[in-house]
Structure 1
Amino acid sequence: MAPKYVLHYWPSIPGRGEYIRLAFEATGTAYTESNEPKTLLKHVMSCSKVGHPPHFAPPVLEIQLEAARSTKSRKTETSEDVKSSSPFFLSQTPAILAYLAPHLGLDGVKKGKNEEDPEVDQIRRAQVNQITLTILDLNSEVHDSHHPVASSAYYEEQVPEAKKRAEDLRKVRLPKFLKLFEETIASNEDEDHLYGSSLTTADLALFQLIDGIQFAFPKRAAALEKSGKYAKVFALKQAVAKLPKIKAYLESERRLPYSDGIFRHYPELDGED
């Protein structure tokens, strides 16, 4: 029996939880969400509800395994045994994606008659994770463009610094990252993907990143696409958007609109260059 998944994340924003939602949606994997803030906060900074180890911040993925699979136990902060039939919890977006990738067939590993050595499989998974981590690095830089001084401060309290940071992002960082992603696609055996010949977490992450950048920096994103230097990147983004399950998800109410999350549109931070 497949595990049951519950995604614990903030309500009303796509945020970092969106990268996880896309993995579930693309593969038709059943999952539920828990978004009530008071309940959500009980899952972070404490072991009392989730067991060891504690979690710093959402997203937190709850993994409910079939009870009969193991007789092992784990400890809560009160040192009480928790049977393996109790849920496991995992946080950090890249860690969650790395866990889900092989379970959902998004790890770039060849299946069937062309299966490879197990060690090669591990390397392939690590390489997909490498690409995904780089995409998430740029995700963090986009967030820091509107909150360059302190995440706990309001945007309005750091506008001058945000303008400087956003200018560097537009002129230097975006082209540098997009050049790498373009080369990654071009050097792959199948130019429809970042790695291998099937959909991976890296493809889904790149889709979400580019979509978010197009929302936050529409002028700059349009100029980068028009330049033709990153044609494969934008083509991959469009291809993922057209996948039947992703297309249905994007058209549903489950796809939350951008608001006060990672990708925010402030006109004063945007520009064609």
Structure 2
Amino acid sequence: MSAVARVAPGLRIVPPALLRARRPHRMIERSLHVVRRSPLIYVTGFFEPLFYLLSIRIGFTELVGDIDVAGRSVGYAAFVAPALMASSAMNGAVYDSTMNIFFKLRHAKLYDAVLATPMTPDDVALGEIAFAVLRGFLYSVAFLVTMWAMGMVGSPLVLLALPVCLLIGFAFAAIGMACTTYMRSWADFEYVSAITLPLFLFSATFYPVSSYGEWGWVLQLSPLYHGVALVRSLNLGHLEWSMLGHVGVLLGLAVIGVTVASRRVASLLLT
């Protein structure tokens, strides 16, 4: 009986790739060697949300005034900063799990060579997703340090936002890699920006949900919205049971993404 077949019933929700993978760390090691050669490529995604934050801090804060969040009045820059931290995790994960993986899969043919070793498709999928999560996490850590330096940290609970950013990165990296396996050419990356830009702008990033009136429920269809809600609540020092719903959405996306990505890598390279 295989290890997957022997798994306890309570763990059957775990993607099979997580249970079958044995050497995903080898893919992470390879990616780290590449980073050492061209480190600047891997820091660019951090600057977009940072520039947004600086422009808001300098130009818009006085114009907009305070925002009411959960019965507490906060400055506009402090309202936006946690959302941009969540966006940093998304950016890092998406950039690495789409363009980089597409190049390795379709042009460099890296995975063909990797699968000629004892590595498996599950190792490839999980290792690449894990490195994309690591990239997004580093962006988030850097952004949190920036928030602290600018006086935008509202509670020690914001440290719990770092594991949340790991989860945000995991969800977007898994879905990003799964979608990348279906892409045929570089032109398909127009769809990536066409999806991520609206997510960035319309996930309660710059406006509270109440600003959307009866259309506020649409924001909940955005995966990033759930990450923004978690990070913003933690920065304000709020812990509520409803936050588990946001965690569940992100976990569900991660499970789907890992499962699809590992199966697609196997079907593309082993058939």
Give the TM-score normalised by the residue count of structure 2: 0.26
Which structure has the higher relative contact order (CA within 8 Å, separation 6+)?
A: 2
More helix per residue: 1 or 2? 2
TM-score by length of 1: 0.26
